[in-house]
Chains A and B, each alone.
Chain A
Amino acid sequence: MALYNFKKIMVVPTAKEFIDITLSKTQRKTPTVVHKHYQIHRIRHFYMRKVKFTQQNYHDRLTQILTDFPKLDDIHPFYADLMNVLYDKDHYKLALGQINIAKNLIDNVAKDYVRLMKYGDSLYRCKQLKRAALGRMCTILKRQKSSLEYLEQVRQHLSRLPSIDPNTRTLLLCGYPNVGKSSFINKVTRADVDVQPYAFTTKSLFVGHMDYRYLRWQVVDTPGILDHPLEERNTIEMQAITALAHLRAAVLYVMDVSEQCGHTLPEQLELFNNIRPLFANKPLIVVANKCDVKKINELSEEDQKIFADLTTDGISVIETSTLTEEGVIQVKNEACDRLLANRVETKMKGKKVHDVLNRLHLAMPAKRDEKERPPFIPEGALVRRKAMEVDAPKRKTERDLEVELGDDYILDLQKYWDLMNEDEKNDKIPEVWEGHNIADYIDPDIMKKLEDLEKEEELKEKAGEYDSDEESEDEEMQEIRVLAKQIKEKKQLLVMASKEKDVHGPRMPRTATKVERKKLEKQMGGLGLDMDDKDDSHYAQQARRSRSVALKRKRETSAPPTSKTRSQSASRPPRDKSGLRDPKMAKKAKKMMKNSQKDMNRHGKKGEADRHVFDLKPKHLLAGKRKSGTNDRR
């Protein structure tokens, strides 16, 4: 209904803000650049657009304000009246009327200036027209400053009104200030209304909700009413009166028996009689509050007579105390019951009832045989009900135990476990063993499975799976292994020796180093040859003959000596004949030599060490675009 819209009203900006926002929006959202030399229709269009845009913005915003605020004629009379009380109907309507006028004026201004713009013949003239238009629109709005402020305050207050549904079941509390209405609502619902010893603590209506008979009930707390005629009432009291007048609720008139509120019982009775006309057609209960201080039968005769009169009038009087909570539930129940009855009656009198009644049909099943079929109530339910009535002591809870034992209390939930053997409840259950979770092994058939596994294991052992294979190798194999190991070691030594060679330094030619006889004999001996008397061998004889190795050969003696006397140079064969057994081999060696030189000669190289590249970056390979060629020959 109109209820929710109160919270969804858009914020009403102040006049200054409104103007600022709209003008900056115009600046941002319309094109910003125009030059003198543009065609005149373009200039006109530019400025007309600005004027229209501003007008559109103002119009939209003001319309929104007008539609958001509720129309007092369209909402429930309770809210209409309440708003009248709080904000003054006339002022409200006036403010909205002003806004409407402003809107129309702005529209007119824009229309006029757009028409005038058609006759602007230069950039300067159009610009001035636009300035004038915007200026007038803003002035109109500046004049609405007070209306806008008022509307903003109304909006803020409206959004904070309690959401009272005027059509649902309601209980209304009324009476003098300080009699105990707010305490009552605090007791009965979840509301948390301020309760203070001074009068007019509650300054506006408050709503609380409660449940009774599976239905939701509203309880409305009102500010206190003093006893003077309607015209002299202030805003706060008027709210209470409005609520009383418009809400169709059960009325709880609260009276203070102990007169602690500052008003005597006859005064309270006066007030009651004064507002009696407002209680027409509403179920009424008089709540005699603060009975913990003073009971009715402790009162004086005249005061008791007041209550007796009320009772004879047919109005139920119930004694309550919001402090000790006696009678509160009784009041609530009776008020709710009577209101429900009242509402049902009203509905029955109305026209809509018949539609519903015509569609209802209570089916009573016909008896088919003489068997009695009473309703079945399970035993547990009966026991429960009895327990509820007798208010039997509940079972001892953990909380009671805790309170009893105080510091010694230890929460031990294991005692509630439902196990097969009772005495195992306090066992410490193992969870983990050697990196395995015991819970993963738990299985009722684990023993059977283990047995099967053991059987399997036995079979496997018998079959010889677990026998370790000894290395039943014959001697030959063992010898081979030993030899293989030796070969491996020898290979490693050779590799290490070759790594130690200084390859980067100057190298002596093979023939320059003399092979020591002892070394040769040792090495060959290591390989298993017999090197014992080798004095007659060829190498030994040669060694005796040659005098020294490091003699350089003189250049002059390059020609072979003619005399047959063995000279040093002739004793050593020339390189192209050393190591060759026969002419056939010599021929082959020569051929091999020539072969290996062929490539070098073809490329014009000086020798095998000549690696000079005459053309590092040949142009024909590296110039030009990459067409359908390859990279592997560049």
Chain B
Amino acid sequence: MRIEKCYFCSGPVYPGHGQMFVRNDCKTFRFCRSKCIKNFKKKRNPRKTRWTKAFRKASGKELTVDNSLEFEKRRNIPVKYNRDLWEKTVEAMKRVEEIKQKRQARFIMNRLKKGKQLEKEEAIVEVKKNIHLIKAPHAGKAKKLEDKMVQKLQEDVDMGDEDV
């Protein structure tokens, strides 16, 4: 019993689910649900259909080359059952999965960091351009001007006093 991969979306096909299509040249295609089958029949390229894993990997949105991804590989030479090997493998699998997920998350985070930078710049530009919507340009300046004039008069009076 194996969990296969859907040809179109690369999702898991559990036993008892999905369909398999065999072409005249003996190439088999497994699908997880009718959405993938319908897209395949419409001759859509999974590498160009945005919601599939194939697209995400091909356009660099997800981690593709990494050592933690080399562990899960379909091997053609069967290995004889050996209890401690199996036990060790299960433990190793869990650890590898952890590391893989950490790395994938880090990759995506790095990709999205640039967006944060752009956001910052956008905010600055926005504020510069449209500040007049929330604050009049000379808000508070009238008072300042008055104060300034009062101060100036005061100074003049002082000066006059001095002169006299």
Using a CB–CB distance below 8 Å, which chain A residues touch chain B? Answer: 417-421, 424, 427, 429-444, 446-447, 449-450, 452-454, 456-457, 465-466, 469, 477, 480-481, 483-484, 486-488, 490-491, 494, 524, 526-530
Contact = CB atoms under 8 A, between A and B. Distances in A.
A456 B123 contact: no
A452 B82 CA distance: 23
A465 B68 CA distance: 16
Given A441-B92, A446-B71, A487-B130, A527 B12 contact: no
Interface string B34-63: 000000000000000000000000000000
Contact of A447 (B3, B70, B92): B92
Interface string B1-15: 111000000001000
Contact of A484 (B85, B89, B126, B132): B126
B20 interface: no
Contacts of A524: 136
B74 interface: yes
B123 to A, nearest CB: 4
A436 B123 contact: no
Given A442-B85, A477-B120, A530-B140, A490 B127 contact: no
A424 B82 contact: yes
Given A447-B88, A469-B113, A483-B131, A434 B97 contact: yes
A295 to B, nearest CB: 62
A442 B89 contact: yes
B138 interface: yes
Interface in B114-143: 120, 122-124, 126-127, 130-136, 138-140, 142-143
Interface string B83-116: 1011011101111110100100010000001000
Contacts of A439: 2, 75
A558 to B, nearest CB: 39
Given A453-B68, A466-B106, A487 B126 contact: yes
Interface of B is mostly: helix
B134 A490 contact: yes
Counting contact residues on chain B (CB < 8 A from A), the size range is 35 or more
Contact of A427 (B81, B96, B99): B81
Given A456-B67, A466-B106, A529-B138, A431 B90 contact: no
29 contacts: A420-B82, A421-B83, A432-B1, A432-B2, A433-B90, A433-B94, A435-B3, A436-B3, A437-B2, A439-B75, A440-B74, A441-B71, A441-B72, A441-B89, A441-B96, A443-B71, A446-B92, A449-B70, A450-B96, A453-B68, A480-B124, A481-B123, A484-B127, A486-B134, A490-B133, A490-B134, A527-B136, A527-B139, A528-B134
Given A424-B83, A440-B73, A446-B92, A480 B123 contact: yes
A524 B135 CA distance: 9
A420 B99 CA distance: 32
Contacts of A430: 86, 90
Nearest to A451: B92
Nearest 5 A-B pairs (CB), nearest first? A528-B139, A484-B123, A527-B136, A528-B135, A490-B133
B127 A530 contact: no
B27 interface: no
B80 interface: yes
A452 to B, nearest CB: 7
Contact of A529 (B88, B127, B133, B139): B139
Contact of A419 (B80, B88, B142): B80
A147 B2 CA distance: 72
Nearest to A487: B130
A436 B89 CA distance: 12
B82 A419 contact: yes
A524 B139 CA distance: 9
Contacts of A490: 133-134
